[in-house]
Structure 1
Amino acid sequence: MKVNKLTPNFEVKDIRKTVEFYQSVLGFTLVMAVPETQDGIEQSFADGKEYVYALVSKDNVEMMFQRTESFKRDVFFAKDLSISASVSFYMEIEGVDSFYEHIKSEGLNPTELKTAWYGMREFYLTDNNGYILGFAEKSAE
């Protein structure tokens, strides 16, 4: 088996609010969204429409967001699980120090920025759905 790519699919309560968080705070771009009617794919949000799915990207990373009822219908194993069950998403980035300052300026409450024993300068925060996001850069030390 050859693995080509891993794209996390997050169960979320509100597609629009989640995408807005990832755009405004983390700099992701909306690639596509599927309206509640599931009658097509859109590249932007339309006023007055609700959405069940969205795909965002930044650099080489893609993330999918799927509204709770749709996710639980498609992924049977998630039926009795809560949103943000014990998983974290660890992203290696460039410029972790300045990104940390940006996160703090957004009024978010990240963990302390520190260098871990394995040589990564890192911090964690939770997104608007409670998912744990880690951001790290190889330490120069």
Structure 2
Amino acid sequence: MKISKLSPNFEVSDIRKTVLFYSENFGFKLVMAVPETQDGVDQILFEDKEYVYAMMQQGAAEIMIQRSDNFKTDVVFSEGMPIGASVSFYMEIEGIENLYQSLQNKNLEITELKKTWYGMHEFYLKDLNGYILSFAEKLE
């Protein structure tokens, strides 16, 4: 077996709000979105449509977001489980201090930016759906 890519699929309550959150705060771009009708894909979010799925990308990072009702149908093991996670999505980035400063006044749940014993400068943030994002940069 060879794994060629790992892309998290976040269960979310609102596709549009989640796309906006990840694009405004972290520079993710919408790759595609699937409307409720599931009869095709859109490259932009149309105001008159509701969506059940979207894929976003920023550099080599890719995330999928799927509306809760649709997610629970596809991922039957998730039935009865709340949205959110007890796992963090750890991302190595460049420019951590600039990112941290840009998020400071946005009323987000965010930890202090700290230097770790394992040689990283990092902080954690909880997204609007309860997922834990970790941002890290190697110390020089």
TM-score band by shorter chain is over 0.9
TM-score by length of 1: 0.96
> Percentage identity across aligned positions?
59
Q: Which runs of 5+ in 2 are unaligned?
A: none
- Structure 1 contact 36–50 (Cα < 8 Å) conserved: yes
- Structure 2 contact 85–132 (Cα < 8 Å) conserved: no
Q: d(CA) in 2 for partners of 1:52 and 1:103?
A: 28
Residue in structure 1 matched with residue 65 of structure 2 by the alignment: 65
TM-score by length of 2: 0.97
User: How do residues 1-141 of structure 1 correspond to structure 2 at under 5 angstroms?
Assistant: 1-140=1-140
- Structure 1 contact 25–106 (Cα < 8 Å) conserved: no
- Give the secondary-structure state (helix, strand or coil) at the position aligned to 1:6: coil
Number of aligned residue pairs: give it. 140
- Structure 1 contact 15–54 (Cα < 8 Å) conserved: yes
- Structure 2 contact 53–66 (Cα < 8 Å) conserved: yes
Q: d(CA) in 1 for partners of 2:127 and 2:50?
A: 20
**What value does the CA root-mean-square deviation take over the aligned residues?**
0.9
More displaced stretch, 98-107 vs 123-132: 98-107
- Give the secondary-structure state (helix, strand or coil) at the position aligned to 1:39: coil
- In the TM superposition, what is the alpha-carbon distance from 1:106 to its structure 2 partner? 2.9
